[in-house]
Amino acid sequence: MFSKAFSLATLSALVVGAVAAQSYFSVPVDSGARHNSASRKPVSYANYAPYDEGLFNPIEDLSILSETEFTSLTHPVFPNYNVRIKKTSFCDETVKSYTGYIDIEARHLFFYFFESRNDPDKDDVIFWTNGGPGCSSSLGLFMELGPCRINDGNGTKFHPESWNSNANIFFIDQPIGVGFSYAEYGETVGTTEDAAKDVAAFVSIFFEHFSKFKGRPFHMAGESYGGRYVPVFAAEVYDQNSRLVEAGIEPINLASVMIGNGITDFYTMTASYFDMACTPASVAPILDIASCVRMKQAVGRCQKWMKSNCVDQFDSMNCNAAVGFCENEIIVPFFQSGMNPYDISKECEGDIGDTLCYPVTKHISAFLDRPKIRVQLGVDPSVKGNFSSCNSDVGAAFVANMDEFKPTYHYIAALLERNVDVLIYVGNQDWICNWVGNEAWTLELEWSGQEEFGSQDLREWTVDGKRAGLTRSAGGLTFATVEGAGHMVPYDKPKESLALVNRWLNGTAL
Q: Which residues are catalytic?
A: 224, 430, 487
- The CA distance from 132 to 65, in Å, is 33
How far is residue 437 from each of residues 34, 210, 263, 346, 383, measured CA to CA in Å? 23, 40, 9, 21, 38
Q: What angle (nearest 5°) sits at the alpha carbon of residue 500, between those of residues 496 and 503? A: 135
Q: What is the number of alpha carbons within 13 Å of residue 318 lying toward its C-beta?
A: 13
- The CA distance from 364 to 138, in Å, is 8
Question: Which residues, in sequence order, are bridge partners of residue 110?
Answer: 101
Helix, strand, coil content of the chain in percent (nearest 5): 40, 20, 40
490, 244 Cβ separation under 8 angstroms: no
Radius of gyration of the chain (CA): 22
DSSP structure string for 417-485? HTT-EEEEEEETT-STT-HHHHHHHHHH--STTHHHHHHSPPEEEEETTEEEEEEEEETTEEEEEETT-
DSSP letter at 406 equals S
Q: Which amino acid is at 124?
A: D
How far is residue 98 from each of residues 49, 115, 131, 477, measured CA to CA in Å? 31, 9, 22, 33
What is the number of other CB atoms lying within 10 angstroms of the CB of residue 385? 6
153, 110 Cβ separation under 8 angstroms: no
Helices (H) and strands (E) in the chain, counts: 17, 17
Question: Is 182 strand, coil or helix?
Answer: strand
Taking alpha carbons only, the member of 180, 158, 183, 161 closest to residue 171 is 180
